Amino acid sequence: MIDPDGYRPNVGIILMHPEGRVFWARRIHRDGWQFPQGGMNTDETPQEAMFRELQEETGLEPEHVEVLGMTPGWLRYRLPKRCVRPGKRPICLGQKQVWFLLRLVAGEDAVRLDATESPEFDSWRWVDFWYPLEHVVPFKRRVYAQALNHLAPVAERSSGSIILPFAPEDLHLLTAVPRRERRAALRDGGPDRGS
């Protein structure tokens, strides 16, 4: 399903550990890491799509999480030209997303990347809240910043952790300064978890 402007409706999921770190997963057979996300079916609400994608990509069921918040309306990003398939109709120029912030209320052993016959991820770990901005593919950085900024106050209240704001206009800093000098809030989050 693609809207008249060329955007595919989609949901994004920020799964948070009770202490404030977030779930970060590696795409299977690729070196790319991201938050869980996926397209909406025509008969689904954003929340229904979110719970379906959560189960498909992480094995988590609704009773394993608590919904803390969501972004109002759609956040959009455009795909790079190399990812747009001009011969396919309708042409998909990008994604429009509703983002959800969830808190894990089950044990980590409830995460199962192999819950479906076609896993999306092969590894995962908990990372600091702002870490994804430095490590997601560049064309998704602005939408990640918008979603994280909108949901940061909710995450801070829920976790009791201090989550410093990140200004979207500072996105250029993620690649303009040496890695060792980047914001402390973007530091690595720990060991990988296998499937």
Q: Give the count of beta carbons closer than 10 Å to the beta carbon of residue 37.
A: 20
Which one-letter DSSP state was computed for residue 169? G
Residue pair 28/120 in contact (Cβ under 8 Å)? The answer is: yes
So where are the chain's domains? 7-194
pLDDT digits (tens, 9 = 90+) for 96-152: 999 999 999 999 999 999 999 999 999 999 999 999 998 999 999 999 999 999 999
**What is the pLDDT averaged over residues 37-42?**
95
Query: How is residue 164 written in tokens?
Result: 């410093």
Residue 182 has pLDDT above 90, yes or no: no
Residue in the block written with tokens 């076609």: 118
Residue pair 72/30 in contact (Cβ under 8 Å)? The answer is: no
Residue 26 has pLDDT above 60, yes or no: yes
Position 29 scores a pLDDT of 85
Least confident of 54-58, 69-73, 110-114, 162-166: 162-166
Position 89 scores a pLDDT of 74
Residue 174 has pLDDT above 70, yes or no: no
Position 83 scores a pLDDT of 79
Q: Which fold has domain 7-194?
A: Nucleoside Triphosphate Pyrophosphohydrolase (3.90.79)
In the structure, what pLDDT confidence band is assigned to residue 192 with cuts at 50, 70 and 90?
low
Query: How is residue 170 written in tokens?
Result: 């500072």
Residue pair 143/11 in contact (Cβ under 8 Å)? The answer is: no
Q: Give the count of beta carbons closer than 10 Å to the beta carbon of residue 183.
A: 17
Dihedrals φ, ψ of 84, to 5°?
A: -85, 130
Average pLDDT, the chain: 86
In the structure, what pLDDT confidence band is assigned to residue 71 with cuts at 50, 70 and 90?
very high
Residue that wins the pLDDT comparison between 160 and 108: 108
